[in-house]
Amino acid sequence: MGRDSCEAPFISPATLRWLFLAVIVVVWELVPRLGLVPSVMLAPASEAMIAGFQDFGTFARALGITFGQLASALIFAYGIGALAGLLLGSVYFLRETLLPIVSSIYAVPLVIVYPLLTAWVGIGPESKVIFGALYGFFPMALSVAAGVQTVDRQYILAARSMGARTSQILFQIMLPASVPSILSGLRIGGAMTAIGVVVAEMMAATGGIGFLITQNRTMFNTAEVYFGIFLVLILTGLLDMFIRLMERCFTNWYPKET
Amino acid sequence: MLSSSYRVLVQAGIVLILLGLWEAAVFSGLADTRTLPPPSEIAIHIVALLGDQDVLYNLWITSAQVGLAFLIVAPVGVAIGLLLGEHEYIGRAFRPFFYFLAGVPKSVFLPVFILTFGIGFTQKVAFGIFQAIFVLVISAIAAVGSVSPTLIKVARSYGANRWQLYSQIFLPAMMPVVIEGMRLGMIFNITGVVFAEMYVARAGIGHMIATWGMSFQMPQLFAGIFLTAFLSIAVNEVLRWYERRVDKWRK
Amino acid sequence: MAEVTDSMAHAPISSEKFDLSVEQVSLHFETPNGVLKAVDEVSFGVETGRFVGLVGPSGCGKSSLLLMMAGLQKATFGDIIVEGEPLTGPRPQDVGVIFQESSLLPWKTASENVEFPLALRGVDKAERKQLATDMLKLVGLSGFEDRHPFELSGGMKQRVSIARGFCQDPRILLMDEPFAALDEQTRMTLGDELLRIWEGHRKTVVFVTHSLTEAVYLCDDVIVMSAQPGRILERIEIDLPRPRTYETMATADFGRLRDRIWRLIRGSE
C-alpha cells in the first residue's frame, strides 16, 4: 500500500476523533440502558449527571473540603519541594550524593506510608495535607533540581566575562534559565498533590470528594461514583489550566508547541 | 565528578547517620517506641517477615499481579505507540486522546474497577495495566519521533518492506526511549497494584500493610513499608541499569 | 611576502608596547594517564588595534587560551598582562568575549541581550536602550530589537552577539569561533560585516577559528598552534592590503599564505 493513499483520507483525522468520541458517549449511554452490562458496573452518563445534580449540596461540601486540603498541601509541596530542589541541584556535594537517593525514592509507591500517617495523626484533614504534600514534593524537587543543574554553562561564562557578580548570575541567569523546569515542577507536582489528597480521602477519611466516592462505592451507588470521579477530573483539569496559563505568561521567549 | 565508589560510600554514610539519629531519638525517649519503633527493631521484623509463610505468599501474589500486568501492558503499549507514532492518519486522529488521558489522575478510577471486576486478582492486574499503559504509549510515540528519518530513508532505498522497517529499524532504534517508558510504567504499575490491594483486597503485601496500620502493629507496619520500598527500588534500579546498557550506542 | 617573525613567538615579551601579552602561560590537567598539557609555555603579544588569529588542530588549547585571556580560567603557570596589569579575573572594561551563538540569553530580546553588559554595570535604562538600538542598526538588525533569539536565524543571532560585544565596549575583544555554527555564505557575509565594524572601532581583536580561509581573510597576524602539547608553531604576518574583498581571496598571495598555514598544521600532527 502506497503512503500517498494516506494523504487524502476519506474523512479528516479530527473528524474521525470527534466521531469516535461521540460513539463512546452513545455506547456508554446505551449499553447499560439496554441491559447489556449490569447497571452496577456502568451507569449511563446522563444518569450520573442527574444523580450528581440531585444531590449537589453533598458533592459541593465534599469538594470544598478537598479543595481546602489541596490548597494547604500545595503550599508545602511547592515551598519545601522548590527549596530542596534548589539545594539538591546547585550544591555540588548534595547533587552528587543525595540527589540520586531522592530520585530512587521516587520509585517507591508512596501509598504504603499512608497507614503510618493515619496511625500518627488520625484520619482527619492533617493526614490528607501531609500525604498530598509528600506526593507533590518529589516531582517538584526533582524538576527544580534538574532545571538548576542543566543551566547552559555558556550563559554563565558569558555573564562572567561581562563582569556579572555572583548575585547577578544567580538572579539574572540561573533563575530565569530554570523557569521552564520550575513551571513543569509546579504542573506535575500540582497534579500529584491533587492525586495524593484524593487517594488519601479514598482510603480513610471523614469527608472530601474521595471519601464520598468510596462511600458510594460501598453502597453500590454507581451513578454517584461516576459523578464523583467526574468532579475530581474537573478539579485537576482546572488546576492544570491555571498553571498552564501562568506558564504562558512567564515563557514568551519559548518556541510554542503546536 | 566524585568517583562512583566514593559516592556510594558517602551515600551509605548519610543513610547510616540518619538511621543512627533515629535510633538515638527513640532510645533517649525523644520519640515514643509505640509510634516510632527503632530501626534495630524494624530490621529484626523485616527478617521475621521474610521467614513468615503468610507474608511470602502475599508478596508472591503482589509480584504475580505486577508481573502479569507488565507482561501484558509492555508489548500492547509499545505496539499502540508505534502505530500512533508512525501512522500519520491514525496518529493524528487518536494521539490527542492518549496525551489527554496520560495527564488524568487514574487512581480515582479504582472504584470503577471494583464495580466491574470485583476485588480479586483480575481487578488488580487490570488496574495495574490501566495505570501503566498511557505513559508507555506516550513514550513509545516519543520513541518513534526519536528515530532518525535518514535511517528510514536508507532502509526504504534498500527495498525494506513495512514489516522489515518495523522490526529492523523502528524497534531497535526506539529501544532506549521505550525502556525508559517501561521503567516509568513499572513504577505506575506497582503503585496501582499496591494501592488497589490497600483499598480493598483479600491478599497482597498492600493488603497486609493496610491491616497492620489499622491494628496499630507499628513494627510490622514499618517492616512492611521498608520491604516494599526496597523491592520497588530494586526493580527500578534493574530497569535503569538495563536502560543504560541499551542506551550505550546513542552517545 | 609572508615574513615570519619567529623571534616573537618564543622570546620573553616586554609588556609595555602591547595591549595584551601572554607570558609563558601553561594550562595543565591531571588525568588518570598523567599530566595533559593543554597549553604549554605559550608567549605572544598583541599590539593595540591589531587583529590576531589563533588557529590549530582541535585540542590545541586555543579555546582554553582564550578563556584564560578573558580571566575565566586560571593558568597553571604564567601570566596574562592586560594594560600593564596581570589578569586575576574577568575585567569587562578591558576584555570582552564574543562566544558562539548559544550564549545569547534565550529569555531576553535582541535589544535586552545587547544591553546586558551595560545593565550589569548599572547604566541607565534609556541610555543603554539607545546604545543597543544604534549597535543593532550597525549590524543590520534594525526592526528586530524586540525579537527573542528563537525567532532569529543563526546568522542573525551571531550579529546580535557581535553587537553585544561592541556594546560592552572593551579595549580588547576576544572571539571564540564565532562563526563556527554558520553555513559558508553566512560566514562570508558576517566576516565582511565584522571587518567593516572593526575598521570603524579599531579594537584589539584575538580571533580563534579552525577555518584557515577565515583566519587569512580577517587577520593581521595568524598564530599557528600544535596540539598536545598546545604550543605556538609560528606567527605569520598577513600583509595583504586592507580593505580586503572577495577578490583578495583569489590572489596568489592569499593562496600561498593559506597553504603555508595548512602545511604547518599538517606537519605538526
Query: Residues of chain A whose C-beta is under 8 A from some C-beta in C?
Result: 152, 154-155, 157-164, 168, 172-173, 176-177, 179, 251-255
Residue C90 is nearest to which of A152, A154, A161, comparing CB atoms?
A161
pLDDT of residue A111: 92
Report if residue C221 sits inside a domain. yes
pLDDT of residue B190: 95
In Å, how far from its chain's centre is CA A14?
A: 27
Mean pLDDT, residues B179-187: 92
- Domain A55-250 is of which CATH architecture? Orthogonal Bundle (1.10)
Three-state DSSP at C221 gives strand
Q: Which three cell numbers stand for residue C163?
A: 553587537
Q: In this structure, what DSSP letter does residue B119 have? A: T
Name the burial class of residue C144, with classes exposed (0-12), middle (13-18) and buried (19+) by CB atoms within 10 angstroms of its CB: middle
pLDDT of residue A228: 92
Q: pLDDT per residue over B117-132, tens digit each? A: 988 999 999 999 999 9
* In chain A, where the domains are located: 3-33, 55-250
| A43 pLDDT tier (thresholds 50, 70, 90) | confident
Would you put residue B62 in left (φ > 0), alpha (ψ -120 to 50) or beta?
alpha
Contact between A68 and A209 (Cβ < 8 Å): no
Amino acid type, C240: L
Q: Test A107 with B235 for CB contact under 8 angstroms.
A: yes
Mean pLDDT, residues B140-158: 88
Chain C touching partners, 3 or more CB pairs below 8 A:
A
Helix axes B205-214, B171-199, angle to 10 degrees: 30
Q: Test A110 with B191 for CB contact under 8 angstroms.
A: yes
Which string of DSSP letters, residue by residue, matches B201-223? -SSSHHHHHHHHHHTT-HHHHHH
Cβ-based neighbour number of residue C117 at 10 Å? 24
Report if residue C122 sits inside a domain. no
Cα of A151 to nearest chain C Cα, Å? 11
Q: Which three cell numbers stand for residue C90?
A: 574577568
| A256 pLDDT tier (thresholds 50, 70, 90) | low
Cβ-based neighbour number of residue A61 at 10 Å? 14
Tell me the whole-structure pTM to 2 decimals. Answer: 0.80
Report if residue C138 sits inside a domain. no
Q: Where in C73-203 does DSSP place strands (E)? A: 77-82, 85-86, 95-98, 172-176
Examine the predicted complex and report whether its ipTM is higher than 0.90.
no
CATH of the domain at C251: 3.40.50.300
Q: Test A154 with C102 for CB contact under 8 angstroms.
A: yes
Q: What is the CA radius of gyration of chain B?
A: 22
Mean pLDDT, residues B208-226: 92
Mean pLDDT for chain B? Answer: 89
Place of cell 588595534: C49
Q: Which three cell numbers stand for residue B52?
A: 513468615
Contact between C215 and C254 (Cβ < 8 Å): no
In the predicted model, is pLDDT for residue A255 greater than 70?
A: no
Residue A163 is nearest to which of C102, C106, C120, comparing CB atoms?
C120
Give the domain range for residue C74: 1-89+207-269
Mean pLDDT, residues A95-103: 86
In the predicted model, is pLDDT for residue A236 greater than 50?
A: yes
Cβ-based neighbour number of residue C217 at 10 Å? 23
Higher pLDDT, A249 or C209: C209
pLDDT of residue A254: 67
pLDDT of residue A84: 92
Interface test with A, best of C101, C103, C151 (most A CBs within 10 A): C103
Contact between A183 and A251 (Cβ < 8 Å): yes
The whole-angstrom separation of Cα C99 and Cα C113 is 13
Residue C96 is nearest to which of A154, A161, A251, comparing CB atoms?
A161
The whole-angstrom separation of Cα A127 and Cα C70 is 56
The whole-angstrom separation of Cα A164 and Cα A168 is 6
From first to last of its 269 residues, what are the pLDDT tens digits of chain C? 344 444 444 444 455 578 899 999 999 888 888 888 889 899 999 999 899 999 988 878 888 899 999 999 899 999 999 988 899 989 999 999 998 767 899 889 999 999 999 999 888 999 999 999 999 998 989 999 999 998 999 889 999 999 999 999 899 999 998 888 888 888 888 899 899 889 888 899 999 998 999 999 999 999 999 888 888 999 999 989 888 888 888 999 999 999 999 999 888 76
Q: pLDDT per residue over B32-78, tens digit each? A: 888 888 998 999 999 999 999 999 999 999 999 999 999 999 999 99
Cα of C165 to nearest chain A Cα, Å? 9
Q: Which three cell numbers stand for residue C209?
A: 577559528
The whole-angstrom separation of Cα C214 and Cα C188 is 8
Q: Test B96 with A210 for CB contact under 8 angstroms.
A: no
Report if residue C56 sits inside a domain. yes
Three-state DSSP at B30 gives coil
List CB contacts (< 8 A) between A220 and chain B. 115
Residue C41: which residues within 8 A CB-CB, separation 6 or more?
Answer: C24, C25, C26, C77, C78, C231
Q: pLDDT per residue over B221-241, tens digit each? A: 999 999 999 999 999 999 989
Q: What is the side-by-side order of every strand in the sheet holding C172-176? A: C95-98, C172-176, C204-208, C51-55, C221-226, C231-237
pLDDT of residue B197: 94
Q: Test A220 with B97 for CB contact under 8 angstroms.
A: no
pLDDT of residue C6: 44
Report if residue C29 sits inside a domain. yes
Q: Test A253 with C92 for CB contact under 8 angstroms.
A: no
How many domains are there within chain C?
1
